[in-house]
Amino acid sequence: MVSVSITLEQLITAIQQLQPSERTQIAQALIKTELQSGLERLIQELYAQPPADHITDADIVAEIKAVRRVAH
């Protein structure tokens, strides 16, 4: 593996010189990385919450039915 140090401005300049399809690939890779990072944070936040023991299966079913009634 080769490692090269460049500044952010040099990187931007290099990206601007790429073909549109190559720039799209870079954009997609950046978006994927950010989505994964955001999802990991969300999962960690959810696991940090105390369990909702006061919610029963009947409560969940009732909520689902209510949402379905509104949606139709």
For 52-62, write each residue's pLDDT tens digit.
778 888 999 99
Domain annotation covers residue 3: no
Domain annotation covers residue 58: yes
Overall number of domains in the chain: 1
The structure's pTM equals 0.50
Domain annotation covers residue 1: no
Domain annotation covers residue 52: yes
| Of the candidates 47, 45, 63, the residue with the CA atom closest to the CA atom of residue 55 | 63
- 72 residues of the chain, pLDDT tens digit each: 888 899 999 999 999 999 999 999 999 999 888 888 888 888 888 888 888 778 888 999 999 999 999 987
Structural domain that includes position 27: 8-71
Task: Report d(CA 43, CA 59) in Å as an integer.
Answer: 23
Cα separations (Å) of 58 from 8, 40, 55?
A: 54, 30, 8
